[in-house]
Amino acid sequence: MSIEVQVLALGVAYTNCYIIGDTESKQAIVIDPVDKAQLIYQTAVQAGWTIKLILATHGHFDHVLASKELKRLTDAPFCINERELPLLENIPEQGVRYIGTRFPEPAKPDRFLTDEPEIIEVGAIKLETIFTPGHTPGHISFYFREFDLLFSGDVLFDGTIGRTDLPESDRDTLIKSIFEKLFPLGDDVRVLAGHGRETTLGIERETNIFLR
């Protein structure tokens, strides 16, 4: 089995969009369709992959703006936790809050990811959902156990943690998610976050000043 991950840093917040491809079945999953749907789509096409599923870690604009157009281009279902619906429905107003202009509407979810762990499979790609609230009420991280890859969204970054100064955020809940849901996965797990460069759970356990 051969798996490849391509990352595109897109949008005003340089958010990481991840395309996970199964090079044998030629099927792919997109995590966080940030912006520039056509670029995401063409990146997959150039790799020879067909996007079969679109996932969002949470409903902030910089993680979902390309969802509607990417769904149109690929006919792939869009999935997010139901607790994120108020944020999704408020995307146009999020634009006013963050950059002073309205954003286009995101895709409507085709299926809701639950708070309970579940397995998402596309070809040889097998992602485990981990409910990690705190940055937002329904934030989901995705763990590819076979390859020790954690797509942590905006929960945990290289040297820092997700914002908790937003109306929908809660710092204590975020810290609890990291210590109870993520750190038990093991120090060798590679963290592919929503922003910034790659790190590991072990590095963050030892050096992240926000977690001491």
Chain Cα centroid distance, residue 191: 12
In this predicted structure, what is the pLDDT of residue 103?
Answer: 87
The per-residue pLDDT for 49 is 98
How do residues 78-132 score in pLDDT, each as one tens digit? 999 999 999 999 998 877 777 778 888 999 999 999 999 999 999 999 999 999 9
pTM of the model: 0.96
Low-confidence ranges of the chain (pLDDT < 70): 1
Contact, 47 vs 27, CB < 8 A? Answer: no
| pLDDT (0 to 100) of residue 27 | 98
Contact 200, 188 (CB under 8 A): yes
Distance CA 51, CA 38 (A): 12
Which pLDDT value is given to residue 1? 59
Domains of the chain as residue ranges with CATH: 3-211 (3.60.15.10)
